[in-house]
Chain A
Amino acid sequence: MRVQLFATCLIDTFYPETGEAVVKLLKHMGVEVAFPREQTCCGKPPNSGGHAKQARKAAEHFISVFKGSDPVVIPSGSCASMVKNHYPEMFHDNHRMFQAATELASRTFELSQFLVHVLHAHEQGFVGNRKITYHASCQLTRELGVREEPIQLIRSIEGAEFCPMPSADRCCGFGGVFMAKLPEVSMALADEKLDTILESGADTVTGCDHGCLMNISDAVKRRGVSVDVKHLAVILAEGLK
């Protein structure tokens, strides 16, 4: 099987090690990973900021880059939801683009979705020794309806312990442009999220969105506690059997 990887601009710019983990993970499962070199950003930042024209430019580019019939795998709930849910909406006034967007949406997967539903990676399992809590990011949970998949994957790590946090699907306060628009509120929300992370008793917090993880990392840094903040792909890649 071959997939096309969309790395997301956050991973591309800030977290290349997560991108490498995704590639390692998929290859280990026998998947051939293509990386369309013309890829840029899905357009989520201008989209959520209300800059529809700019978001549309990004979407048009994305649709033209991720052609063919191979599935598109995205290690981010919010970017995956952008492609799966928002692209078709954006082009409701243009039949040709709407069809292209709908077709693309149907073969686009968020990483944990792909790992569980297509590769059944949770059946094969992983190894590790972390105490892991999971932050359920907003678009992943509410727009894509991916609630159980990341937890299934975490639970399949032999030797690791899953420590649920209270209100796991409460927003961490990242919100894209929100973090810059209302920084004090954003930080206060991340602080509350950190409270629940610590309450869980875990030594590691994971999630499927680097936006949230970035905001959580900052809260961890500001408070000076020792909690590892890792994308789920990184945890799974380090625990490959």
Chain B
Amino acid sequence: MNKNQAPVSFKSNAANALNNPSLRTAMRNITSTFGKKRVDAIGDNPFEEWRERASEIRMDVLNNIGEYVDMFSKNATKAGAVVHRAKDSSIACDIVASLLKDYGADKVVKSKSMISEEIHLNAYLEKEGIKVVETDLGEYIIQIAGETPSHIIVPAIHKSRQQVGQLFCEKLGCEFTDDPTTLTKTAKKILREEFITAPAAISGSNFAIAETGSISLVTNEGNGRMVTTLPPLHIAITAIEKILPKLSDLALFLRLLPRSATGQVLTSYFSLITGVRKEADSTGAKHLHIVLLDNGRSEIVKSDCKEILKCIRCGACMNVCPVYGMIGGHAYDSTYPGPMGVILSAVLNGLERAHPLLDASTLCGACSDVCPVKVPLAKLINRLREIKVENGLAPELESIGMWGFGAAAKHPKLFELGQKAANAAWPIARLLDKQTVDRLPKPVPVSFKRRVL
């Protein structure tokens, strides 16, 4: 964790994003489509009951995280995996790089993993001379574009198909087309070769099951299955909070995740991996290593923001967020964007760096309403704003203003004086912040109170 970085330039990033018309169009299309599909997929199902139960299960995991991590590690080991505990990003990266070197792998195929983004694994491995190939189509697109994901489920959501066509044309030397099927075929052909020749694979894990020591992958492209069955070495990286207690808990979460994420009733592919390939198995990795990342989580479960760790990374909160929908994910300049990203960035990277992101919310609460595990997102953002103020990170002028406001709220005479002063000083206020003041009506000379009394 690097807690001493300059604050994110969120305000200017957001303003720049607004001036990008193709981004605006892409965001508008996709956020509205997902929102609608989600509602349809939930249909008449007892969503409230489901999410209540899911929230309870996730809370139980967080309340007993130590026990569950031990249980998972013990059972995964019993099944033939090697479990590594990584306290932070650099340790996790180091473990993965050393494993690849030990097995003599100079190339690795990857299925989508936000944890690997969180620890900046690709850059680390490339520096160590290991070639990394992303195999999720969206991840592949942004990898060859040299970008980062702008959405946790749909990493290339910010790109139009014309832009993808151009990119493929430039980087892969194929003829320009903006037909998604042709583009997918092009990528598929290249990736298939990589799957077959890669000596090692890296995946994430949507859920890890304590009871059985299993890891699991929920995907739509089948690349997750290729990655975890073809190469002889499979390294799965996951974070400690992704554990579910029992195998039977999966049923509920597999109902909630695809519905919330992409508005699908069922995911296209689901892989449950328990240990290494057994003698009778026709597929599966011979060696399975699981890296369990902490990266501050053991502390976060003790904080006011504990509940953000219930998150199952479905992305529904960003799909409905008006701010995210307007500016896209890159403006957040952080691994995780949108409402969950604002909170995760603050707790993982520290407020010094992440505090400007707390402005990225109108506190409209649309996120809290859709979250399948009832993370109280708006409440947590509001709580983090309080912590920001407590830590003296709010702009001084704002704090002085709010102090005056607090004093006036307690003293009606002072409050009235303030109202009168606002009316008189409106032209001065306009000089200070013309942009805001011009959007407000002028305070009336005689307040309602004066009129009514």
Contact = CB atoms under 8 A, between A and B. Distances in A.
Interface of A: 7, 11-16, 19-20, 23, 35, 37-41, 43, 45-55, 57-58, 60-61, 138-139, 142-143, 169-171, 173-176, 178-189, 214-215, 217-218
Contacts of B449: 7, 12, 35, 37, 39
- Dominant SS at the A interface? helix
- Dominant SS at the B interface? helix
Given A13-B444, A50-B385, A188-B18, A41 B453 contact: no
Contacts of A188: 18, 326
B452 A19 contact: yes
A35 B322 contact: no
A138 B14 contact: no
The 9 residue pairs across chains A and B that have the minimum distance between CB atoms = A50-B385, A175-B362, A54-B406, A58-B409, A171-B364, A16-B448, A19-B448, A138-B364, A51-B402
A234 to B, nearest CB: 13
B389 A51 contact: yes
Nearest to B406: A54
Interface string B1-34: 0000000000100110010000000000000000
A215 B362 CA distance: 13
A187 to B, nearest CB: 8
B359 A182 contact: yes
Interface string B330-365: 000000000000000000000000000011111111
Which of B322, B358, B366, B402 gathers most chain A CB within 10 Å? Answer: B322
Interface stretch (B97-105, B117-125, B432-440): B432-440
Interface residues of B, number: 58
Nearest to B439: A218
Contact of A170 (B322, B411, B436): B322
B359 A181 contact: yes
Contact of A142 (B18, B366, B452): B366
Contact of B410 (A50, A61, A170): A61
Nearest to A42: B409
Interface of B: 11, 14-15, 18, 322-323, 326-327, 358-366, 368-369, 382, 384-389, 394, 398-399, 402-403, 405-412, 415, 419, 422, 433, 435-436, 439-444, 446-449, 451-453
A54 B385 CA distance: 13
A16 B386 contact: no
Given A60-B410, A142-B369, A218-B440, 13 more contacts: A13-B448, A48-B385, A50-B386, A50-B387, A51-B399, A51-B406, A52-B386, A52-B389, A170-B366, A175-B364, A179-B439, A185-B18, A187-B439
